[in-house]
Structure 1
């Protein structure tokens, strides 16, 4: 059997992509679909902002939580302002964020809901990839009979959580502006690393485009990680450095970093 035939053969295995939806996951779905013909998407409903706000307030206090929510609102409102840069990133990587009617999508209330567990049991995937979704519970991870791979828009373990690219630049740590493709465990971005990707942001990039740039740049590594999982050749490693959890910046922190450091 030729190498090409071997590649085609293992890529016919069942693969699941789990997500809460959005433009960035659609980039990944559209890139994977032609290569992995038995790709199925399980899409959960995004968490309500009120639930997110209460959880953040419990951890960080109400003032910080409201400040983070304000930044999320500003970021959403600013999407149109960065549309040209977003389209340039997508085009430069030969990608598409359009809906793909050819890919089967299973809708569930949550990836931690029994409906998701039932879908996994029915599909019997050989690999799962997660993009932009909630933390998987121990019960969900136990229900998945194969490696679970995550695309994280930050370099682990220094930039776990949210907005890893933004925080690397805000901290003057430009060499760690990047993404990590890693295995999923019960922690937040704590599973073994598989690949690290470090693209170079342009001056026109901001908090509103960093995740898109990192997602687009990381897709070839996601494909490689899936190939590794399907051929039993995954080689996870524990990356060095201090582990730190990050969240969206509060509005005043974002404004300060923008004015003082030019990091928007």
Structure 2
């Protein structure tokens, strides 16, 4: 049933945004998609090096080149099977509903949000959103995070849970967005059960498939004004990054692909 409320997606470009849009549009009708221009690779590497150091970033680059790239090519059948099983639509976004901004934190983005007057904003794959943006419109911002927060914040939460022999926290979270990194109030969480066919590049798609029903219910609750937050799971909150080649190979030997 289509909603009369305005649902706006605030996202970076990519397949997960395409899938997210079509899932929500079929259920509610998405009013507009605001797409930001991604941070350049050069700028991304510079920031990452400042935070993690040259050795760590060099190891991450080697992992991407020697492992993640080839894995993506050999995992095509499995990725397609997940899409078919979960009925995920990855067609491109309809250009007539796309609005482009240089950054989610730009004055242009704030102006677009204020002009659209959304009832809920769904975030996907953007840079960290500044408080000035989150407070620019009087509605909630929701995000689907590929990890169980706050234990696995950052990136590749499913992979790192498995690498830590922590399958009990290998999953996905839907949460409110605040100015931190995956630190907003938890609305819902679900676990995934990877098969022997799955690996580093298929885990995120499994997480997205598991998270979409949670996100849809969270949107319904937000529109009805009935959002209830869950207590955070016990454990240490940690921000995770991309694995280095050495880390991946060590985890691979231990059984995590």
Same fold (TM over 0.5): yes
CA distance in 1, matches of 2:4, 2:73: 38
* Residue 243 (structure 1) aligned to one of 237, 251, 256: 237
Aligned residue pair count: 255
Cα 1:72–1:47 change in 2 (3 A) is: farther
Q: 1:229 corresponds to which residue?
A: 222
Instruction: State the Cα distance separating 1:237 from its structure 2 match.
Output: 3.0
1:55 correspondence with 2:26:
no
CA distance in 1, matches of 2:231, 2:44: 30
Contact 2:158 / 2:171 at 8 angstroms: preserved in 1?
A: yes
Instruction: State the Cα distance separating 1:40 from its structure 2 match.
Output: 1.2
CA distance in 1, matches of 2:10, 2:69: 22
Q: 2:17 corresponds to which residue?
A: 25
CA distance in 2, matches of 1:63, 1:132: 26
Cα 1:96–1:58 change in 2 (3 A) is: same
CA distance in 2, matches of 1:50, 1:202: 36
CA distance in 2, matches of 1:188, 1:238: 18
CA distance in 2, matches of 1:140, 1:102: 24
SS in 2 for 1:34: helix
Q: 1:104 corresponds to which residue?
A: 97
Q: 1:263 corresponds to which residue?
A: 256
SS in 2 for 1:143: coil
Name the TM-score, length of structure 1 as normaliser.
0.92
Instruction: State the Cα distance separating 1:80 from its structure 2 match.
Output: 2.0
* Residue 150 (structure 1) aligned to one of 123, 143, 151: 143
Unaligned segments of structure 1, at least 5 residues: 1-6
Name the TM-score, length of structure 2 as normaliser.
0.95
Contact 1:13 / 1:38 at 8 angstroms: preserved in 2?
A: no
CA distance in 1, matches of 2:127, 2:28: 24
Q: 2:78 corresponds to which residue?
A: 85
* Residue 171 (structure 2) aligned to one of 178, 194, 202: 178
Instruction: State the Cα distance separating 1:101 from its structure 2 match.
Output: 2.2
* Residue 163 (structure 1) aligned to one of 140, 156, 163: 156
* Residue 209 (structure 2) aligned to one of 195, 212, 216: 216
Q: How big is the alpha-carbon RMSD for the aligned residues of Structure 1 and Structure 2? A: 1.5
CA distance in 2, matches of 1:222, 1:48: 29
Instruction: State the Cα distance separating 1:205 from its structure 2 match.
Output: 0.8
Contact 1:162 / 1:246 at 8 angstroms: preserved in 2?
A: yes
Cα 1:20–1:76 change in 2 (3 A) is: farther
Unaligned segments of structure 2, at least 5 residues: none
CA distance in 2, matches of 1:121, 1:142: 10
Contact 1:183 / 1:236 at 8 angstroms: preserved in 2?
A: no
CA distance in 2, matches of 1:170, 1:118: 43
* Residue 115 (structure 2) aligned to one of 109, 114, 122: 122
Instruction: State the Cα distance separating 1:85 from its structure 2 match.
Output: 0.5
